[in-house]
């Protein structure tokens, strides 16, 4: 996966209220039931988050999306992710909805729940997405 880029001015406000690294780590850990990562370590340096830990690639990709969808984060690097089966990522644009995105990637707008299910860590309601948010598009 390497380095992912994000819209710096979009997302949840967590930075600048104390220990940024701990705040991002806590946000990721709150989703540990759906994407367990053991030995999770998070470092925030300016607008970049570096994450490491043990888990499958899907869990690591989801953790990177959680971190990247925090306001003020521009780049996320997750160490140790294999590059062979990288997911497709999409940055939500103004006017998008999950049905429109499903139509674009799958040719069928009714498959929007596939996208929602793959992104429950960053999309809490399929009707509430915002421009600049980055999501995974499962195969």
Q: Quote the mean pLDDT of the chain.
A: 80
Residue 27's closest CA among 45, 49, 10? Answer: 49
> What domain range includes position 17?
3-78
Task: Let me know whether 9 and 74 are in one domain.
Answer: yes
- With 90 as the cut, is the pLDDT of residue 94 above it? yes
Residue closest to 72 by CA, chosen among 127, 132, 133, 11: 11
Phi, psi of 106 (to 5 degrees): -115, -10
- pLDDT tens per residue across span 1-28: 455 666 556 666 666 666 777 777 777 7
Domain count, the chain: 2
Asked, for residue 17, whether it belongs to a domain, the answer is yes
> How many Å separate Cα 57 from the centre of its chain?
13
Q: Does residue 83 sit within a domain?
A: no
Contact status, residue 68 vs residue 49, Cβ threshold 8 Å = yes
pLDDT of 59 higher than 50: yes
């Amino acid at each position: 996966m390497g380095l992912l880029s994000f819209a710096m001015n979009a997302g949840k406000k967590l930075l600048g209220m104390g220990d940024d690294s701990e705040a991002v780590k806590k946000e990721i850990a709150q989703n540990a039931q759906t994407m367990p990562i053991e030995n999770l370590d998070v470092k925030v340096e300016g607008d970049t988050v570096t994450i490491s830990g043990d888990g499958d690639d899907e869990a690591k990709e989801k953790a990177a999306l959680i971190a990247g969808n925090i306001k003020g984060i521009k780049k996320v690097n997750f160490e140790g992710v294999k590059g062979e089966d990288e997911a497709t990522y999409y940055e939500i644009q103004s006017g998008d909805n999950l049905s429109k995105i499903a139509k674009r990637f799958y040719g069928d707008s009714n498959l929007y729940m596939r996208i929602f299910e793959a992104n429950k860590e960053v999309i809490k309601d399929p009707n509430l997405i915002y421009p600049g948010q980055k999501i995974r598009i499962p195969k």
